[in-house]
């Protein structure tokens, strides 16, 4: 199967845990698929839906660190009912990835031109986590019966893998109603699997070897978000 292999790199990346916004703000070990679709949308200059492409991903960083940030908050005016700036500022201790890289395997080859001339800059996390495209190239994904995973996400539960179990994450958002906030399209459970897990293909857990990888045992998992 021919796919597009894209590598994004950055100086920093942060994917805050959902519903955990006070105190120390920890980062997820890898981007949720909603973030990947957001980056595809930014590069393509349009909303990219979950049905448009299968996605495989591998994410790693050199280390994690913490940054102390000044925060500015809003407050509701009780008389007018309008929002205004809260003069009281706060501090937040935010965790982030150092020198991260994200490898994407996309079944839709038409995205190649979007990465050569992106409509907007991709970001590995928040808007200040600006990323650059290291390379874009069509490759072959060869079906494999078994192999070794890179640092990636797999659906939870998976009896073959051990790793960090993540809270429910949005696979994608719906933003089709003008004037309203976006809605969650689907929630899924994943676990982050560190590099080096040996796995076998099974029903609903298809493995593929990318032919541009030097290790013949290396495999990736493709996710179909719209299924």
Average pLDDT over residues 24-30: 93
Token pair listed for 75? 């407050």
In this predicted model, which residue has the larger pLDDT, 227 or 37? 37
Kindly list the distances between the CA atom of residue 33 and the CA atoms of 60, 86, 121, 130, 214, in Å, as whole numbers in the listed order.
15, 33, 18, 18, 26
Determine the Cα–Cα distance for residues 15 and 6; give it in Å rounded to an integer.
Answer: 20
CB 28 within 8 A of CB 15: yes
Kindly list the distances between the CA atom of residue 191 and the CA atoms of 1, 15, 61, in Å, as whole numbers in the listed order.
26, 15, 17
pLDDT value at residue 178: 80
How does pLDDT run across 124-165, given as a tens digit for each residue?
999 999 999 999 999 999 999 999 999 999 999 999 998 999
pLDDT value at residue 22: 67
Give the distance from CA 1 to its chain's centroid.
Answer: 23
Token pair listed for 161? 């893998």
In this predicted model, which residue has the larger pLDDT, 131 or 91? 131
pLDDT value at residue 75: 75
């Amino acid at each position: 199967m021919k796919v597009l292999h894209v590598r994004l790199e950055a100086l920093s990346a942060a994917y805050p845990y959902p519903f955990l916004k006070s105190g120390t703000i920890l980062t997820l070990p890898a981007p949720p698929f909603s973030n990947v679709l957001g980056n595809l949308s930014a590069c393509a200059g349009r909303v990219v839906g979950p049905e448009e492409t299968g996605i495989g991903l591998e994410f790693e960083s050199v280390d994690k660190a913490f940054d102390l940030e000044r925060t500015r908050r809003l407050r509701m005016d009780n008389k007018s009912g309008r929002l205004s700036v809260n003069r009281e500022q706060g501090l937040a201790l935010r965790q982030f990835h150092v020198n991260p890289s994200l490898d994407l395997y996309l079944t839709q080859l038409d995205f190649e031109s979007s990465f050569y001339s992106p409509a907007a800059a991709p970001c590995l996390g928040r808007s200040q986590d600006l990323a650059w495209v290291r390379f874009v190239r069509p490759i072959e994904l060869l079906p494999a019966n078994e192999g070794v995973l890179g640092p990636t996400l797999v659906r939870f539960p998976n009896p073959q893998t051990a790793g960090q179990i993540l809270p429910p994450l949005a696979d994608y958002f719906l933003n089709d109603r003008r004037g309203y906030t976006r809605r969650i399209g689907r929630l899924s459970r994943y676990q982050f699997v560190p590099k080096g897990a040996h796995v076998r293909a099974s029903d609903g857990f298809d493995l593929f070897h990318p032919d541009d990888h030097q290790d013949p045992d290396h495999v990736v998992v493709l996710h179909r978000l719209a299924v």
